[in-house]
């Protein structure tokens, strides 16, 4: 499972309509003039289409030993070695097209200051960003805005080669239009443009093939179909397995080479054993060995370095069987870990001092262990567009018998937070004091909120004897209410002097910054992620509006939060932070009661009355105010470059980090270093 950010809705709609210009064939002059290159702000590496490209930093790199640095380096190379695979998985002509685009960038001597070049430049970047010619998120084909004639000139003058079939794939307005199709009433395998299934394979064939193969009584089933292309040969279906000596073998051999290097510097025996098992899996393609590997991987928890490498998530396949290649290399976030440990050590104090009813308090509460990591390198499905959290392995029986590892990608999230710049804050904050406070303490407040939410929030509270689990009692409202409960624990305690006493916060200004941000987001700014006229469906968003709207209403008689309209613009100003804290505590007590007693009706009323419906006038206003800020709906990242420093004998004596300044340079560099297919 991976967790991603929801894209900003408004701009996504705009960019789609821009993309569809290409559907009409040749552009007229008006449209040519209308095309504008986007300019990145000071926090962005690049900005094109509906995307912003950011960088992320690795803090505390020098706290790692030389062997740990080597381990990170070898694992990152093992990830990048598989980069070609996802291009081919996504679409049969992707690799060929990517190489032609690279060649044009390298060799085209013509004018690079024309509108058509800018259009080419944007198209190519969008293809690199999506690991192919279909949008990384929406799955629609990215239509070029330049003409086919212009493209032919570029190819010719760059000495680049591209087959007629691939050129047709780029420009055709009725072929390969979507990478993954899930529509009812069509053959979703035939209609999907991805390359997971061979020519002539239909949905019915796939379903019958696996119905026959899968033994439903097996308590420990493998992930059928995970690592192969299903092809039709002599009228029979056949799994063309991705392994050394098999399909993608040339890239997989490179992955194996780097994993073997990693084994030599493993931090401990368990980590080494897992790495060896992964190598065995890549050599055999045996999914039973993949399961054995995952058991070892989930048990290897002691090192500071961890990684994800393999064919893992199945979001790209319409039938959810075949997995895209991905890799993430992670380093423990030492600072965040220390902070969480302090909270966990004091979990009982928080439980005892919570506002929930005494009979709902745990006598022996344990903080939830929650891991924040720093990403050091990403590849495949995780790059350039990245998740912000990952929970693996995916195979259910392994999760049940051996547990799972859940990580939050701390430096990625921090980079996202910075990327927006102060545009949103300046537009929606009520006054200068609020802006100054968020600028100074906002980032710390956000991190502390997350820690409290995860470590203390989800751990807190007791369900009454005989009352079932929330998924049974509160049904479809369970997760929204659980997220609200955990948020409320965080909001209540972030203003508690205990956190200052523990040395975790410098003053209650941090709590105030969090309150301002939370109310502003819950009542206004999060609405940028929803299309006008739609309800809130995502659980975290429902919970934030629920909490903010409830305290707004309950505090109205005392003007705890004031709605201010200035020059036709709405603001929410908190007049009394102490009373607001009491209201958070009150709602926490009620939601805990709902959970403890399994009170479905009360839970439903809270979510439906406060969390779902959107104030249409305010929503419209928010979308209009956000438009001039030109926020990118999607984000992605360049990776830091890890550079080995060698002595005269050729031994690695250090690994240095360089931060790339250009997205396209990194893409071209990857193309040169990691083209194995």
For the bound state, the minimum distance from the C-beta of residue 470 to Zn ion, rounded and expressed in Å, comes to: 13
Phi-psi region of 139 (alpha: psi -120 to 50; beta: other; left: phi over 0): left
Give the CA distances from residue 287 to residues 243, 327, 405, 488, 608, in Å, rounded to whole numbers and listed in that order: 11, 18, 20, 43, 44
For the bound state, the minimum distance from the C-beta of residue 458 to Zn ion, rounded and expressed in Å, comes to: 6
Does position 101 interact with Zn ion (CB under 5 A)? The reply is no
Write the DSSP string, 460-471: ---PPTT---HH
Task: Considering the complex, state which of residue 399 and residue 620 has its C-beta at the smaller distance from Zn ion.
Answer: 399
Give the CA distances from residue 106 to residues 26, 72, 581, in Å, rounded to whole numbers and listed in that order: 27, 30, 59
Does position 295 interact with Zn ion (CB under 5 A)? The reply is no
Task: Considering the complex, state which of residue 147 and residue 404 has its C-beta at the smaller distance from Zn ion.
Answer: 404
Task: Considering the complex, state which of residue 486 and residue 548 has its C-beta at the smaller distance from Zn ion.
Answer: 486
Candidate segments 199-207, 214-222, 485-493, 578-586, binder of Zn ion by CB under 5 A = 485-493
Task: Considering the complex, state which of residue 144 and residue 389 has its C-beta at the smaller distance from Zn ion.
Answer: 389
For the bound state, the minimum distance from the C-beta of residue 452 to Zn ion, rounded and expressed in Å, comes to: 11
Closest CA to 227 of 239, 214, 242: 242
Does position 541 interact with Zn ion (CB under 5 A)? The reply is no
- Per-residue b/e over 45-72, b at no fewer than 16 CB within 10 Å? bbbbbbbbbbbbebeebeebeeebbbbb
- Whether the Cβ atoms of residue 175 and residue 423 lie closer than 8 Å to each other: no
Does position 368 interact with Zn ion (CB under 5 A)? The reply is no
Give the CA distances from residue 594 to residues 377, 520, 602, 606, in Å, rounded to whole numbers and listed in that order: 43, 26, 7, 10
Tell me whether strands 634-637 and 51-54 are parallel, antiparallel or unpaired: parallel
Task: Considering the complex, state which of residue 256 and residue 456 has its C-beta at the smaller distance from Zn ion.
Answer: 456
Task: Considering the complex, state which of residue 255 and residue 344 has its C-beta at the smaller distance from Zn ion.
Answer: 344
Site string for Zn ion, 142-181 (x = CB under 5 A): ----------------------------------------
Member of 486, 504, 622, 623 binding Zn ion (CB under 5 A): 486
Task: Considering the complex, state which of residue 116 and residue 482 has its C-beta at the smaller distance from Zn ion.
Answer: 482
Tell me whether strands 371-380 and 389-392 are parallel, antiparallel or unpaired: unpaired
For the bound state, the minimum distance from the C-beta of residue 483 to Zn ion, rounded and expressed in Å, comes to: 5
Backbone angles phi, psi at 615, to 5 degrees: -65, 110
Does position 591 interact with Zn ion (CB under 5 A)? The reply is no
Candidate segments 394-402, 433-441, 484-492, 643-651, binder of Zn ion by CB under 5 A = 484-492
Write the DSSP string, 113-149: SSHHHHHHHHHHHHHHHHTSSB-TTT-BBPPPSS-HH
For the bound state, the minimum distance from the C-beta of residue 453 to Zn ion, rounded and expressed in Å, comes to: 6
For the bound state, the minimum distance from the C-beta of residue 590 to Zn ion, rounded and expressed in Å, comes to: 18
Phi-psi region of 320 (alpha: psi -120 to 50; beta: other; left: phi over 0): left
For the bound state, the minimum distance from the C-beta of residue 520 to Zn ion, rounded and expressed in Å, comes to: 20
**Nearest residue by C-beta to Zn ion?**
486
C-alpha to C-alpha distance for 653 and 166, rounded to whole angstroms: 45
For the bound state, the minimum distance from the C-beta of residue 389 to Zn ion, rounded and expressed in Å, comes to: 10
Task: Considering the complex, state which of residue 249 and residue 470 has its C-beta at the smaller distance from Zn ion.
Answer: 470
Which spans of this chain sit near Zn ion (rule: CB under 5 A)?
A: 483, 486
């Amino acid at each position: 499972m991976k967790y991603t950010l929801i894209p900003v809705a408004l701009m996504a709609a705009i960019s789609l309509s821009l993309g569809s210009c290409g559907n009409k064939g040749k552009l007229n002059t008006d449209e040519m003039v209308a095309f504008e290159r986007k300019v990145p702000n000071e926090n962005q590496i690049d900005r094109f289409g509906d995307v912003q490209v950011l960088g992320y930093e690795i803090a505390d790199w020098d706290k790692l030993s030389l062997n740990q640095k080597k381990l990170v380096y070898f694992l990152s190379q093992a990830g990048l070695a598989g980069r070609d695979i996802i291009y081919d998985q996504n679409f049969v002509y992707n690799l060929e097209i990517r190489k032609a685009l690279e060649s044009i960038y390298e060799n085209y001597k013509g004018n690079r200051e024309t509108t058509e070049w800018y259009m080419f430049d944007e198209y190519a970047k969008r293809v690199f960003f999506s690991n192919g010619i279909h949008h990384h998120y929406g799955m629609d084909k990215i239509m070029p805005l330049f003409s086919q004639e212009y493209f032919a000139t570029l190819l010719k003058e760059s000495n680049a080669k591209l087959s007629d079939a691939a050129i047709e794939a780029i420009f055709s307005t009725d072929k390969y239009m979507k990478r993954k199709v899930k529509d009812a009433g069509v053959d979703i395998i035939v209609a999907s443009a991805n390359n997971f299934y061979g020519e002539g394979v239909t949905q019915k064939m796939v379903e019958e093939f696996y119905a026959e193969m899968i033994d439903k009584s097996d308590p420990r089933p493998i992930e059928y179909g995970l690592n192969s292309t299903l092809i039709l040969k002599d009228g029979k279906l056949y799994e063309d397995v991705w392994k050394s000596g098999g399909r993608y073998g040339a890239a997989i051999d490179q992955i194996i080479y780097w994993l073997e290097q990693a084994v030599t510097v493993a931090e401990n025996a368990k980590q080494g054993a897992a790495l060896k098992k992964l190598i065995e899996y890549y050599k055999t393609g045996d999914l039973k060995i993949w399961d054995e590997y995952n058991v070892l991987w989930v048990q290897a928890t002691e090192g500071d370095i961890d990684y994800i490498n393999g064919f893992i998530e199945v979001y790209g396949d319409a039938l959810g069987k075949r997995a895209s290649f991905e890799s993430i290399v992670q380093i423990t976030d030492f600072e965040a870990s220390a902070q969480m440990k302090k909270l966990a050590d004091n979990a009982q104090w928080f439980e005892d001092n919570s506002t929930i009813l005494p009979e709902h308090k745990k006598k022996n509460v344990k903080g939830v262990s929650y891991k924040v990591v720093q990403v050091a390198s990403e590849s495949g499905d995780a790059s350039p567009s990245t998740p912000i959290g990952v929970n693996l392995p995916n195979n259910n029986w392994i999760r049940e018998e051996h547990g799972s590892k859940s990580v939050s990608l701390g430096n990625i999230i921090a980079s996202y937070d910075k990327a927006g710049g102060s545009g949103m804050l300046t537009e929606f904050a009520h006054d200068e004091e609020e802006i100054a406070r968020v600028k100074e303490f906002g980032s710390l407040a956000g991190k502390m909120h997350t820690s409290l939410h995860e470590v203390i929030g989800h751990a807190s509270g007791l369900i009454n004897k005989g009352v079932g689990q929330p998924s049974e009692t509160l049904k479809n409202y369970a997760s929204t209410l659980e997220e609200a409960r955990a948020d409320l624990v965080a909001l209540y305690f972030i203003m508690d002097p205990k956190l200052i006493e523990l040395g975790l916060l410098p003053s209650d200004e941090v709590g105030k910054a969090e309150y301002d941000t939370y109310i502003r987001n819950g009542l206004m700014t999060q609405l940028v992620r929803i299309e006008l006229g739609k309800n809130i469906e995502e659980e975290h968003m429902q919970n934030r509006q629920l909490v903010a709207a409830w305290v707004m209403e309950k505090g109205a008689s005392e003007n705890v939060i004031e709605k201010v309209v200035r020059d036709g613009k709405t603001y929410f100003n908190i007049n009394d932070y102490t009373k607001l804290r009491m209201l958070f505590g009150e709602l926490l007590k009620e939601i805990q009661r709902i959970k403890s007693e399994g009170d479905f009706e009360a839970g439903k009323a809270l979510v439906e009355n406060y969390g779902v419906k959107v104030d249409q006038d305010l929503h419209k206003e928010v979308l209009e105010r956000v438009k001039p800020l030109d926020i990118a709906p999607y984000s992605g990242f360049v990776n830091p470059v890890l550079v080995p420093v060698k002595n005269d004998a050729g031994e690695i004596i250090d690994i240095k980090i360089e931060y790339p300044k250009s997205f396209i340079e990194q893409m071209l560099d990857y193309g040169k270093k990691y083209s194995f297919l």
